C-alpha cells in the first residue's frame, strides 16, 4: 500500500493553478468521488484553503494503473486542455514518511503563509469531517489526520508559536490601515459569510474607527455578525450596482469565479479617493482589471505572502522547536505502527516460551521441589512469565524505535492493514 500527498500552495507562486484545483463547494463531493475512482485509491482526503490545495490518498501499489499518481491527477483536472500554465515543480508529491511529516507540519501551521495561525487546524478538522461524511476517506487517513491534529495541539502547547502570531485576517487589516489616511473614519465593505469575514471584522472593530458594511448574496447569513459589530447589511447585487462611497473592500467568498468584474472596477475608480481591494478568495473574487485600474490598490494573497515573511524571520527559534516536535511525532507514529505490526510475531514467541517454561517447571516441581506449595509455585511461574514478557516485547519496542528513525520507506501493506483492522 502507498500513502501519499499531492498538492500545490502559494509557495509555488502559481496562483491560477491554485484557483483551478479549488473545487466548487456545491459539486466538490461528486468531483472527488470521480477522482477517487480515477486514481484507483481506496481512500482520499481533500483540503483547500486560501493558500493550498492538497490531496492525500491511500492506494494499492500493486494495482495496474497507467502513469504515476501525479500524472493521473493532472489528466483528471486538465483532460480538456491546459487552461492554466504550470511546470512540474508547481506541484509537490510526498509518499510514506515524507507524506506524514508534511501532514503534521501543515496541520501545525508550519507550512502556512502565516506561521502560527490557528485557522488551518480548523480547516483540517472540517475537511476531515466532510471527506468522512462523503465516504471518501477511511480508517487509515482518518487516523493519521486525527493524529496530525493532536500534533498541532502539542506544538501550540509546548512552544510559543501562537503568541503574537498574525493571521491572514490581521495581515489584510494591517494592509488596509497602511494604505488609508489615519485621520479618516473609513467605510469598509466585507464580502462573504465565512469565518474569515468575522475575523476581519473583529480586527477592524478593535483596531481602527470605521464603518463596516457586510455584503452577501443572502443578507440574512451575515445579519448576526453585522449586529455583533454594529455594521450595515447590503445584498451583493445591490452593492455591485451602487457601492456608495467605500474606502476598502475585503472579499473572501466561496464563489467559483470573479464576483467583481471590470464594470465594477470602473465604478470604484470614479471615486475621489483611492480604494483598497483585498482579495482573500480562491479563486479570486476580483477580476484582473482591478490590478490594472488607477485609483484602485489591489492586494491578493501573493502580496500578503510577502508580509508574512517577517513573521517567519522573527520567530525562527520557536519554529525550530516546533520542527523538532513534528520530527519526534513522525518517528513515534511510525514506531507505533511498526510495533503493532511486529507484536503478533513476538507474541507468538512469548506464548511458546511460556508454554515451554511451564512444562519445565511442572517437571521440576513434581520431581525435585515437591515441598513447595501451590501458592509458591504460582508465584514462581508469575515471575517467569513477567521476565519472559520483558525479554520478548522489549526487543519489539526497541526494534520499532530503531526502524522508525532509520527507515524512509513507504508504509508497508502490513502496517496499513493493521491500522484498518484496529480502526
**Would you state the pLDDT for residue 409?**
43
The pLDDT value given to residue 359: 78
What integer pLDDT is reported at residue 400 of this predicted model?
Answer: 57
Q: Is 240 exposed, middle or buried (0-12, 13-18, 19+ CB in 10 A)?
A: middle
Reduced to 3 states (helix: H, G, I; strand: E, B; else coil), residue 268 is: helix
Q: Across the beta sheet with 248-251, what order do the strands follow? A: 232-235, 211-216, 187-191, 248-251, 275-279, 296-299
What confidence score (pLDDT) does residue 420 get? Answer: 44
Nearest to 377 by CA among 357, 347, 356: 357
Strands, E assignment, 100-247 = 187-191, 211-216, 232-235
Count, residues in the chain:
423
Q: Count CA atoms closer than 13 A to 94's CA, side-chain side.
A: 18
Going from the N-terminus, what domains does the chain have, and what CATH number goes with each? 2-158 (3.30.460.30), 168-312 (3.40.50.720)
Q: What pLDDT score was predicted for residue 165?
A: 53
Q: Give the angle subtended at the CA of 252 by the CAs of 233 and 255, to the nearest 5°.
A: 95
Nearest CA-CA partner of 280 in 86, 10, 7: 10
Q: What confidence score (pLDDT) does residue 421 get?
A: 43
Spatial distance between the Cα atoms of 254 and 17, rounded to a whole number of angstroms: 17
pLDDT per residue as tens digits for the range 142-194? 999 999 999 999 998 898 777 655 678 888 888 898 888 877 889 999 999 98
Torsion over CA: 216, 217, 219, 224 (sign): negative
Separation CA 99–CA 3 (nearest Å): 7
Residue 327's SS3 state is helix
Residues of the chain with pLDDT under 70: 62-67, 81-82, 163-166, 306-316, 342-343, 345-347, 350, 388-423
Integer CA distances (angstroms), 241 to 47, 221, 259, in order: 34, 20, 12
Please compute Rg for the chain using Cα positions.
Answer: 28
The secondary structure of 389-405 as a DSSP string is: HHHHHHHHHHHHHHHHH
Tell me whether the omega of the peptide bond preceding residue 158 falls within 30 degrees of 0, making it cis. Answer: no
Check residue 413 and give its pLDDT.
43
| Nearest-angstrom CA–CA distance, 169 and 252 | 10
Amino acid at each position: 500500500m502507498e500513502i501519499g500527498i499531492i498538492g500545490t500552495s502559494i509557495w509555488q507562486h502559481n496562483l491560477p493553478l491554485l484557483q483551478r484545483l479549488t473545487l466548487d463547494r456545491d459539486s466538490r463531493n461528486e468531483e472527488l468521488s470521480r477522482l477517487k475512482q480515477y486514481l484507483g485509491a481506496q481512500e482520499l482526503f481533500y483540503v483547500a484553503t486560501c493558500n493550498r490545495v492538497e490531496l492525500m490518498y491511500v492506494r494499492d501499489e500493486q494495482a495496474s494503473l497507467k502513469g504515476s499518481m501525479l500524472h493521473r491527477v493532472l489528466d483528471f483536472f486538465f483532460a480538456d486542455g491546459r487552461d492554466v500554465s504550470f511546470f512540474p515543480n508547481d506541484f509537490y508529491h510526498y509518499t510514506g514518511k515524507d507524506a506524514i511529516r508534511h501532514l503534521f507540519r501543515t496541520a501545525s501551521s508550519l507550512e502556512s503563509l502565516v506561521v502560527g495561525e490557528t485557522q488551518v487546524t480548523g480547516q483540517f478538522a472540517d475537511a476531515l469531517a466532510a471527506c468522512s461524511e462523503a465516504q471518501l476517506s477511511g480508517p487509515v487517513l482518518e487516523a493519521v489526520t486525527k493524529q496530525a491534529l493532536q500534533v498541532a495541539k502539542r506544538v501550540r502547547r509546548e512552544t510559543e508559536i501562537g503568541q503574537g502570531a498574525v493571521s491572514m485576517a490581521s495581515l489584510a487589516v494591517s494592509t488596509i490601515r497602511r494604505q488609508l489616511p489615519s485621520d479618516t473614519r473609513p467605510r469598509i465593505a466585507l464580502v462573504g459569510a465565512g469565518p474569515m469575514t468575522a475575523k476581519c471584522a473583529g480586527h477592524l472593530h478593535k483596531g481602527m474607527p470605521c464603518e463596516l458594511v457586510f455584503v452577501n448574496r443572502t443578507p440574512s447569513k451575515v445579519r448576526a455578525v453585522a449586529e455583533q459589530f454594529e455594521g450595515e447589511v447590503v445584498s451583493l447585487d445591490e452593492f455591485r450596482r451602487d457601492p456608495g462611497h467605500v474606502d476598502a473592500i475585503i472579499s473572501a467568498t466561496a464563489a467559483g469565479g470573479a464576483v467583481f468584474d471590470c464594470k465594477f472596477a470602473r465604478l470604484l475608480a470614479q471615486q475621489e479617493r483611492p480604494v483598497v481591494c483585498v482579495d482573500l478568495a480562491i479563486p479570486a473574487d476580483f477580476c484582473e482589471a482591478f490590478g490594472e485600474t488607477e485609483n484602485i490598490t489591489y492586494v491578493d494573497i501573493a502580496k500578503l505572502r510577502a508580509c508574512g515573511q517577517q513573521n517567519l524571520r522573527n520567530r525562527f527559534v520557536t519554529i525550530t522547536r516546533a520542527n523538532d516536535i513534528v520530527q519526534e511525532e513522525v518517528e513515534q507514529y511510525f514506531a507505533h505502527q511498526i510495533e503493532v505490526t511486529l507484536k503478533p510475531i513476538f507474541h507468538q514467541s512469548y506464548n511458546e516460551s511460556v508454554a515451554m517454561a511451564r512444562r519445565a517447571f511442572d517437571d521440576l516441581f513434581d520431581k525435585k521441589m515437591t515441598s513447595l506449595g501451590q501458592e509458591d509455585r504460582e508465584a514462581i511461574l508469575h515471575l517467569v512469565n513477567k521476565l519472559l514478557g520483558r525479554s520478548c516485547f522489549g526487543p519489539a519496542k526497541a526494534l520499532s524505535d530503531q526502524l522508525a528513525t532509520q527507515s524512509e520507506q513507504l508504509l508497508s501493506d502490513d502496517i496499513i492493514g493493521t491500522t484498518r483492522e484496529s480502526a
